[in-house]
Structure 1
Amino acid sequence: MNIKRTQLTLQRISRIAILSALCVVFRYAFATLPNIQPITAIFLIVSIIFGIGDSLLIMAVTMLVSSFLLGFGPWVFFQILSFAVVLCLWRFLLYPLTKILKFDKIKTVTLQAFLAGMMGIIYGLVIDSCYAFLYNMPWWSYVLAGASFNLAHALSTLLFYPLLLPILRRFSDEKVV
């Protein structure tokens, strides 16, 4: 790993702050629509453009700051934990899989969007498991109760990913597909 990449330079801190602020604004703007938010797509795209470290920092700052606007409780820790699981799964397993498969650019972005949508389902399953543990309830009851919300999260991520990818890709120094 490059030493320069791990240092918190002023440029990197500024990028983290600006993208976190953008995500907080998006999260607050879409708060009336349950689980329809572009932030999951942003976190996933940032993890491939700037690395998992920046993505985790942006996600944690977004969740903490937006919780002051939308409500703070033990679920904030579960949101951070769930997004961390999703981001690690995406960055180290699913995104490299899309690079191994040799498709043209459109098919690759379509596959990435589909897998990004699946990350919405995975996020829902992880956070539903955390809630079931917190409230000592049967796991399947939370999964069934949250199925429509998880589906909405998956569909919104599937739609936002290809829309936001070319916008966020402009901030990168390297080619990202």
Structure 2
Amino acid sequence: MSTKRMSRVAILAALAIALRFAFASFPNIKPIAAIFLICLLYFPLFDSLLIMTLTMLGSSLLFGFGIVVCWQILSFAGVLLLWKYLVLPLIKSGKLSIPLQSFLAGFSMFFYGFLISLLSAVQYGVNPFVYWLNGLTFDLLHVLSTALFYPIIYHIFRRFLE
């Protein structure tokens, strides 16, 4: 990995950690999911997964480290893979407008919420469906914040990276 590439990954991970910390007082309202999804527009999958993993590990040093960090990493990795192989080809072909991309980015956070709820329910030995239903309002905040942050971050990245 080149120095330029390592620096870009480190800077974007540090930015995501700082933004996660800045929005810490708002439950599940953070721009990091939008950052991860937009990174896939400009960087390879490996770099995007590395940015996400470093962000989750780095921010866990500030917020507390537990097994839930592993579930966050696995759940975000699932969302990034889904985005890479299902949505990104449509974006690259020009078939998706920014508002539709924002909607899909937000909607993908329901998938994240489902994955992390499933993993947490298995960990705690509770009914996964009930556990997921109990967290739907929390997931809805994640969906709305990602959909709102996506166009803002998209335009910032586009300005600096194209």
Whether the TM-score (by the shorter chain) exceeds 0.5 is yes
CA distance in 1, matches of 2:67, 2:145: 25
Equivalent AA in structure 1 for residue 102 of structure 2: A
- What residue number does 2:155 align with? 166
Gaps of 5+ in 2: none
Alignment size in residue pairs: 162
1:100 Cα deviation after fit: 4.5
Q: How does 1:47-126 map to 2 (within 5 A)?
A: 47-100=40-93, 102=95, 108-126=97-115
Question: Between the two proteins, what is the percent identity of the paired residues?
Answer: 51
Q: How does 1:33-52 map to 2 (within 5 A)?
A: 33-52=26-45
Q: What is the aligned counterpart of 1:23 among 16, 29, 41?
A: 16
The higher radius of gyration belongs to 1
- What residue number does 1:14 align with? 7
Deviation above 6 Å: which 4+ runs of structure 1? none
Equivalent AA in structure 2 for residue 159 of structure 1: L
TM-score after normalising by structure 1: 0.87
1:101 Cα deviation after fit: 6.4
SS of residue matched to 1:35: coil
TM-score after normalising by structure 2: 0.95
CA distance in 2, matches of 1:87, 1:102: 19
Equivalent AA in structure 1 for residue 153 of structure 2: L
CA-atom RMSD, angstroms?
1.3
CA distance in 2, matches of 1:171, 1:55: 17
Gaps of 5+ in 1: 1-7
CA distance in 1, matches of 2:103, 2:113: 16
